[in-house]
Chain A
Amino acid sequence: MAPLGRAALLLAFGLVLYALVAGSYAAWKKRRRLAHSAQNALLIAFPVTLVAAIVLLVALGRRDMTFQYVSEHTSHKLPLGYALSAFWGGQEGSLLLWLLVLTGYAGLAVWLNRRSRELIAWTVPVFGLVAVFFSFMLCFVSSPFNVQPAPSDGQGMVPSLQNPYMLAHPPLLYLGYVGLTVPFAFAMGALLSGRTDERWIVATRRWTLAAWMFLGVGQLIGSHWAYVEIGWGGYYAWDPVENAALMPWLAATAFLHSVMIQEKRGMLKVWNMILVALAFNLSLFGTFLTRSGVIDSIHSFSKSSIGGWFLAFLVLMVVLSAVLIRWRLPLLRTKTKLESLVSREATFLYNNLLLVALCLTILWGVLYPILSDAVRGETRSVSKPYYDFFLHTFGLPLLLLMGIGPLVAWRKASLRSLGKTFAVPFGVAVVTGVVLLVLGFGSSWPGLLAYTFCAFVAASIVLEFVRGRQATGSIFKLIARNRRRYGGYIVHAAVVLLAIGIAGSSAYQTERDQVLRPGQSIEAAGYKLTYTGLKGVRGPNYTGYRALVSVSGHGERFGLDPGVNHYFIEGFTNKAAIYHDPRSLGDVFTKAQLAGKHGARIDLQVFVKPLINLIWVAGFVFVAGALIAMWPDAVEQRRLAARYAAGAAPAGI
Chain B
Amino acid sequence: MEWALAVAAILAVVAVVFVARPFLRDPAPASDRLDELAPEARERLALAEERDRALAALKELEFDHRTGKVSDEDYRAQVGPLRRRAAEVLRALEGGEQARRERVPDPGQRVP
Contacts and interface: CB of A to CB of B under 8 A. Distances in A.
A646 B44 contact: yes
Interface in B19-67: 19-23, 26, 29, 31-37, 41-42, 44-46, 48-50, 52-53, 56-57, 60-61, 63-64, 66-67
B52 A639 contact: yes
15 contacts: A7-B8, A30-B33, A30-B34, A31-B34, A33-B22, A33-B32, A37-B20, A40-B18, A195-B37, A263-B53, A410-B64, A411-B57, A411-B78, A471-B67, A643-B48
Nearest to A22: B19
B52 to A, nearest CB: 6
Contacts of B18: 40, 43-44
B22 to A, nearest CB: 4
Q: What's the interface size class on B, roughly?
A: 35 or more
B35 to A, nearest CB: 5
B87 interface: no
B74 interface: yes
Contacts of A34: 22
Contacts of B37: 118, 195, 647-648
Contacts of B35: 32, 117-118, 648-649
Contact of B78 (A18, A32, A33, A412): A412
B32 A32 contact: yes
Contacts of A51: 7, 11
A11 interface: yes
A8 B8 contact: yes
A160 interface: no
A33 B26 contact: yes
Interface stretch (A235-243, A297-305, A415-423, A438-446): A415-423
B69 interface: yes
Contact of B34 (A3, A15, A32, A48): A32
A26 B34 CA distance: 8
Where chain B touches its partner, the secondary structure class is helix
A41 interface: yes
A364 B110 CA distance: 49
A647 B48 CA distance: 9
A208 to B, nearest CB: 19
Contacts of B68: 420-421, 467
Contact of B19 (A37, A409, A639): A37
Interface string A5-38: 0011001000100100000001100111111110
Nearest to B7: A4
Nearest to A471: B66
A647 B8 contact: no
A3 B1 contact: yes
Contacts of A37: 19-23
Contact of A11 (B5, B11, B23): B11
A266 interface: yes
B67 A11 contact: no
Interface of B: 1, 4-5, 7-8, 11-12, 14-15, 18-23, 26, 29, 31-37, 41-42, 44-46, 48-50, 52-53, 56-57, 60-61, 63-64, 66-71, 73-74, 78, 109
A639 B48 CA distance: 10
A553 B71 CA distance: 54
Contacts of A459: none
Given A33-B26, A197-B49, A410-B57, A647 B42 contact: yes
Given A412-B78, A643-B49, 9 more contacts: A11-B8, A40-B19, A44-B18, A197-B42, A264-B56, A264-B57, A411-B57, A647-B44, A648-B35
Contact of A44 (B19, B32, B67): B19
A15 B52 contact: no
A475 to B, nearest CB: 14
B11 to A, nearest CB: 6
B15 A44 contact: yes
Nearest to A28: B34
Contacts of A421: 68-69
A477 to B, nearest CB: 12
A417 B69 contact: yes
B70 A118 contact: no
Contact of A410 (B12, B14, B23, B60): B60
A544 to B, nearest CB: 42
A648 B41 contact: yes
A40 B46 contact: no
A37 B19 CA distance: 5
Contacts of B7: 4, 51
A518 interface: no
A407 B32 CA distance: 54
B53 A265 contact: yes
Given A7-B11, A11-B12, A198-B49, A18 B19 contact: yes
Contacts of B20: 37
A436 to B, nearest CB: 29
B71 A416 contact: yes
Name the residue among B19, B21, B53, B63 with the largest chain A CB count within 10 angstroms: B19
Nearest to B48: A643
Contacts of B66: 471
Nearest to B35: A117
Interface-centre pick from A7, A121, A644 (highest chain B CB count, 10 A) = A7
A40 B22 contact: yes
Interface string A417-440: 100110000000000000000000
A417 B36 CA distance: 47
Nearest to B21: A40
Contact of B5 (A3, A31, A32, A470): A3
Nearest to A467: B67
Instruction: Sort A-B residue pairs by CB-CB distance and give the 4 closest, nearest first.
Output: A7-B8, A647-B45, A4-B4, A467-B67
Contact of A33 (B5, B23, B52, B69): B23
Contacts of B33: 30-32
A8 B11 contact: yes
Contacts of A148: none
B45 A409 contact: no
B79 to A, nearest CB: 11
Contact of B15 (A15, A27, A33): A15
Interface string A459-491: 000001001101100000000000000000000
Interface string A113-141: 00001100100000000000000000000
Nearest to B97: A646
Nearest to A644: B45
Most buried by B among A27, A193, A468, A471: A471
A413 B71 CA distance: 9
A197 B46 contact: yes
A414 interface: yes
Given A33-B26, A41-B19, A414 B49 contact: no
